[in-house]
Structures are given as C-alpha cells and as structure tokens.
Amino acid sequence: MSDNIWGYQPTSGHTAGTDLIGFKVEAADGSIGKVDKHSDEVDSSYLVVDTGVWIFGKHVLLPAGTVRSVDLDERKVFVGLTKEQIKNSPEFDKDKHTDDPGYHEEIGGYYHGHRRI
C-alpha cells in the first residue's frame, strides 16, 4: 500500500482521465453518495462526494488513497472506510481544499489513520 494518501492505489483500477462524476460511492458498510467532483492531479488526487440526504446535503473530501477499487461497468467507487469514519471526517471547505496545504494535511492525516485498504 502506498503511503501517499493523495494518490490512487495502483490496484484500484482507476485510470487518470476517467470521468468519475456521478459514480456512486460505496463505503465498507454501504452507499454514501455520488461523486460531485474529482481530481487526478499528481500528489493531490481526491473525490468530492455529495452525501445527499445521508448527512443532510454535506459534501466530503476523500483523498484518492482511500479508494479501494473503481467499477466502470457498475459506475461505482469503493472506499476502504466505514460510513462512521466518513461522517466524522473534518468538515469539507470548498474554498480551502484547493489552495490550503494545512487543510490537506488535516484531511490527509485523518484518513491516513483510518483507511482499511
């Protein structure tokens, strides 16, 4: 397993450039929402997931390193986290997530300690 929480695991099956918007996101214990936005940028890859009614419209930022696998036929992304771990993650801040290295460290540190890949 790679130590880079912001990069896709080589075994995930994700190919850079694949459009994941609209894919369903599955935690270890059930569906959490759909991909609203994503990035394949080297060392800064992530998914932004719209959780819909599950967490009352909250969006969550998931570093690419939390992705276990991508199923292109089923249009699903599987992450190695539980719903509770995702629900308790640091609040998503759409203004900070692209330009604030400290915010990335906070998110990355949280998920690095929780992933179960």
Note whether 20 and 38 are within 8 A (CB): yes
Task: Report pTM.
Answer: 0.89
Q: Compute the average pLDDT of residues 92-101.
A: 80
Mean pLDDT of the chain: 88
Contact 116, 80 (CB under 8 A): yes
Which residues are within 8 A (CB) of 63 and not within 5 positions of it... i.e. 6 or more apart?
Answer: 5, 6, 45, 46, 107, 108, 111
86-105 residues labelled b (16+ CB within 10 A) or e (exposed)? beebeebeeebbeeeeebbe
- pLDDT confidence of residue 117: 44
Residue 64 pLDDT greater than 50, yes or no: yes
